[in-house]
Amino acid sequence: MRYGIQTGDCGVYVDMDLEKSPAQPQRQATPEGCLAVAIRIPVRIVVLVLVVPVRMVWDALVVVGRVLRDTVLRPFGRALAWLGRALFVWPFVGLWRYVVVPLGRAIGWLGNVLVVVPLGWLYRYALTPLGHALAWVARGVGAGLAWVARGIGAGMAWVARGVGAGLAWLYARLLTPVGHAVMWALRGLGAVLGALGLGVFGVLAWLVRHLVVVPVAWVYTWILTPVGHAIAWCARGLMWALSMTVTGVGTALYWVTRVLFVLPALALWRWILVPVGRVLAVLGREVADALGHAWRIAGHISLAVGRFLGTLLRWIFVEPVRWVYRTVLTPVGHVVRDLVLRPAAEAARGVGRATRQALAMARESARQARADFRRMVFGEQGQPQRVDRREPTGAETRTLGSSTTALTKD
């Protein structure tokens, strides 16, 4: 809801939240105890007494802040914005528009004249003919090298065919029989070495079985297994003893902790902290509700005080000033306008008109004197003769007295 302090035809409006917004979620109603009912009225009275001055000061500060914003801060901000544009934006715009852009265009023109055009001329009239000449020379050299390469290739092919025929005869008549003999010898040697390896492997396997595997299995079965069972039984007994000891100590510590810490803390929470928290929650809720009601009531009070002050200001200052303006200053101003200002304005306009006429006459006299002096010195100049124009002239402007018909045309 919007309220304001009215002063005559103008007013300063202040936003005051005097009612709760309907969009706010409603708190679920809970049963109230005698403590809430007993402390509600005193708390609201005390809070109202404390909040009313604060709300009135807040509304006054809001009004003063808006007046300062509209009359001081906003014009000052606009002046700062204009000053910032004048000091920072406009100089850079002028520098860009009248210095950087013409300088860039001049540099571009100089670059085009001094670099691009000479490079284009050099490419067109020097590098292009030179490249064509080099290409022609390269094509000639390539053709010569190709002819030489074809000759060398033909000679190498003839030599390669002769060498290939000799190597084929050597492979067929010498290397093939020698290779077959070497392969027959290697196969016999491989068969002998295989039989010898199988005999050595069988002997070594029998020795390892009777010298290593059988003794190790006997030691594991008749010595290590009983010793391991005895060690496991001892470890299980030791673990049972340790577990019983730890269980007893843990049970004792549990009951000591429960009796000395948990039960007192539970009693403290259940019989002291929970009731105190509930009392504090009731007090906090009532204080919050009281602050809300007091703030809205203080808004109504501040609105009434503002309207009273606005009416008092209007009857003390505005209405007397308006009455003086309407009944005294306006008739006096009309009399002064009719008896003093208008005659003075007519006299000033007459003086200005006479001055303009005198100046016009002086200019005309000076112009005539210059014309007489020019005729006296240079003589009378002939009037220019009018020459008939070959092209047709335009039609005269039509007026109310003229006509376009053949009967009424002059």
280-310 pLDDT tens trace: 887 788 788 878 888 888 888 888 888 888 8
Mean pLDDT, rounded, for 40-46? 73
Helix (H), strand (E) at residue 65: helix 34-68
Tokens of residue 44, six digits: 């609201």
Res 81 pLDDT > 90: yes
pLDDT in tens, 138-172: 888 888 888 888 878 787 888 877 777 777 777 77
- The more confident residue out of 15 and 390 is 390
Res 117 pLDDT > 80: yes
Band (225; pLDDT cuts 50, 70, 90): confident
Res 19 pLDDT > 50: no
Res 103 pLDDT > 90: yes
Which class for 125: exposed (0-12), middle (13-18), buried (19 or more C-beta within 10 A)? exposed
DSSP tag of 401: S
Residue 1: per-residue pLDDT: 41
Mean pLDDT, rounded, for 169-179? 78
3-state secondary structure of 9: coil
What is the rounded distance in angstroms from the CA atom of residue 312 to the CA atom of residue 300? 18
3-state secondary structure of 1: coil
Backbone region of residue 397 per phi and psi (left: phi > 0; alpha: psi in -120 to 50; beta: other values): beta
User: What is the pLDDT of the chain when averaged over all its residues?
Assistant: 80
What is the rounded distance in angstroms from the CA atom of residue 98 to the CA atom of residue 96? 6
% of the chain beyond a pLDDT of 90:
19
Residue 273: per-residue pLDDT: 92
pLDDT in tens, 327-383: 989 999 899 988 989 999 999 999 999 999 999 999 998 888 888 888 877 776 655
How far, CA to CA in Å, does 52 sit from each of 241, 302, 303?
77, 8, 11
% of the chain beyond a pLDDT of 70:
82
Distance from chain centroid for Cα 361: 71
Q: How many CA atoms lie within 13 A of 95 on its CB side?
A: 7
What is the rounded distance in angstroms from the CA atom of residue 307 to the CA atom of residue 304? 5
Angle, helices 34-68 vs 274-313, to 10°: value is: 40
298 and 55 in contact (C-beta within 8 Å)? Answer: yes
Res 107 pLDDT > 90: yes
Contacts of 13 (CB under 8 A, 6+ apart): 2, 3, 4, 5
302 and 55 in contact (C-beta within 8 Å)? Answer: yes
Res 35 pLDDT > 70: no
Residue 246: per-residue pLDDT: 92
Length of the chain: 410
Tokens of residue 354, six digits: 């006479």
Res 254 pLDDT > 70: yes
